[in-house]
Amino acid sequence: MEILERALKSIGELDNTAMQRARERLDNLTKPKGSLGALEDLAVKLAGISGKVFNDFRKKTVIIMAGDHGVADEGVSAYPKEVTPQMVVNFLSGGAAINVLARHEGAEIICVDIGVASDVDHPGLLVRKVKKGTDNIAKGPAMSREEAIKAIEVGVVTAWESIDKGSDLIATGDMGIGNTTPSSAILAAFSGKPLEEIVGRGTGIDDLRLQKKLNAIRKALEVNKPDPEDPIGVLAKVGGLEIAGIAGVILGAASRRVPVIIDGLISTAGALIASKIDPRSINFMIASHVSEEPGHKVMLELLGLKPMIFMRMRLGEGTGAVLAMNLVEAAAKIIKEMATFEEAGVSKEEI
């Protein structure tokens, strides 16, 4: 609890003066006012986060949290549980989608075993296992409250260490077969929306498995009765270890005023938990893409965040978030490198 408390103590507000200065500068650059749309809003947000109008990013990092899910035993995924450790090995060997996109963006990958059911032996893996997979949420809580806090703190510390080593732009990623089920359960607990509206097909399940998934979430809510006023309770009852870790990465980045780019459904479930623990953490979040999972759009609306990329992606791992790094860097370059009307000798608007 001490680490989490320390993180929460340092989360602040956006710097309004810097944001105002950024907006003024953007309005003086050689373009009609506001014509770069969301790119301008992003430049303003970056100023609010860092307190500086000009920002550049030297070290981009995606932190992937991996964990297993007892609820996978209910037949809620199209893939078997062993894919979780197998994909962890794939991340460490460079063959996954996230590896390709991270290389493309010049980002480094940190992969954390926060709760994989089996042990992966690889020198590149950060082993910070809180528990060997969650318990089945359709039958009881995923984990204890203490384990949920410990998993959040693993995320906080991983973010802090990465920032200490120079990371100045962080993206969140996940791996865990079955994890769209707890992510949807978290959303149901906070939104109260009908499950049929927010539960999707994850890895691509058929109608039969979709019914099993809906039943598992219904049971998870009935058995555990998560209280939306108690976000750590929601996480412990119907969440996941990697979701807790992602919430921690977000709180850790926010406490150090480092922008954190949120990926798809699972990462945004972590973001929802972080936002309920401390709403000021939303100030430091940047939404990347909108996933094909129907619940993702609802989560982003609850957070009041607008996604930038609409690519029909539904993979997780941090893929959408890493793609958005390019847009974050572009926004930072626009405000820094464009000429003002005065510098370029271009006439300003007439009215």
Ligand X SMILES: Cc1cc2ncn([C@H]3O[C@H](COP(=O)(O)O)[C@@H](O)[C@H]3O)c2cc1C
Ligand Y SMILES: O=C(O)c1cccnc1
Site string for ligand Y, 156-195 (x = CB under 6 A): ------------------------x---------------
Regarding 184 and contact with ligand X (CB under 6 A), the answer is no
Size of the site for ligand X (CB under 6 A): 18
Q: Which is nearer to ligand X, 48 or 245 (CB)?
A: 245
Q: Least CB distance from residue 196 to ligand Y, whole Å?
A: 17
Q: Map tokens 């930072």 to a residue.
A: 332
Q: Among candidates 91, 142, 141, which has minimal Cα distance to 113?
A: 91
Residue in the block written with tokens 């100023």 = 47
Contact 158, 110 (CB under 8 A): yes
Q: How far apart are the first and last CA of the chain?
A: 57
Classify residue 312 as exposed, middle or buried by CB count within 10 Å of its CB (0-12, 13-18, 19+): exposed
Q: Segment near ligand X (CB under 6 A), from 26-34, 51-59, 224-232, 311-319? A: 311-319
One of 72, 247, 308, 315 touching ligand Y (CB under 6 A) = 315
Read off the tokens for 35: 């014509």
Helix axes 231-238, 241-255, angle to 10 degrees: 150
List C-alpha distances in Å: 1 to 24, 31, 232, 260. Answer: 42, 49, 12, 22
Q: Which of 39, 129, 314, 322 binds ligand Y (CB under 6 A)?
A: 314
Rounded-to-integer distance, Cα 125 and Cα 114, Å: 10
Of 203, 210, 223, 327, the one binding ligand X (CB under 6 A) is 203
d(CA 208, CA 280): 41
Strands 260-262, 169-175: pairing kind:
parallel
- Which entry of ligand X, ligand Y, none binds 20, CB below 5 to 8 A by partner kind? none
Out of 74, 147, 317, 329, the active site residue is 317
Contact flags string 53-82 toward ligand X, x per CB under 6 A: ------------------------xxx---
Q: Give the H/E segment covering residue 146.
A: helix 145-164
Q: Which two tokens stand for residue 301?
A: 């609306």
The residue written with tokens 């209910």 in the block is 74
Is 233:146 a contact under the CB 8 Å cutoff?
A: no
Nearer to ligand Y, 23 or 314 (CB): 314
Binding residues for ligand Y restricted to 284-303, rule: CB under 6 A? 291, 293, 296
Distance CA 59, CA 182 (A): 32
Choose the contact partner of 175 out of ligand X, ligand Y, none; CB within 5 to 8 A by kind. Answer: ligand X
One-letter amino acid at 71 equals V
> From the list ligand X, ligand Y, none, which binds 115 (C-beta under 5 to 8 Å, kind-based)?
none
Query: Which partner from the list ligand X, ligand Y, none does 259 bind, CB cut-off 5 to 8 Å by kind?
Result: none
Binding mask 226-265 for ligand Y (x = CB under 6 A): -------------------------------------xxx
**Nearest residue (CB) to ligand Y, 107 versus 243:** 243
Nearer to ligand Y, 275 or 291 (CB): 291
Residue 172's binding partner, choosing from ligand Y, ligand X, none, with beta-carbon cut-off 5 to 8 A by kind? none
Is 343 a catalytic site residue? no
- Phi, psi for residue 307 in degrees, rounded to 5: -75, 155
Within 161-180, the residues that bind ligand X by CB under 6 A are 174-180
Residue 86: its H or E element: helix 83-93
* Shortest distance in whole angstroms from residue 120 CB to ligand X: 14
Size of interface with ligand Y, in residues (CB under 6 A): 13
**Catalytic residue numbers, as ranges:** 317
Query: Applying CB under 6 A, which residues contact ligand Y?
Result: 180, 202-203, 263-266, 291, 293, 296, 314-316
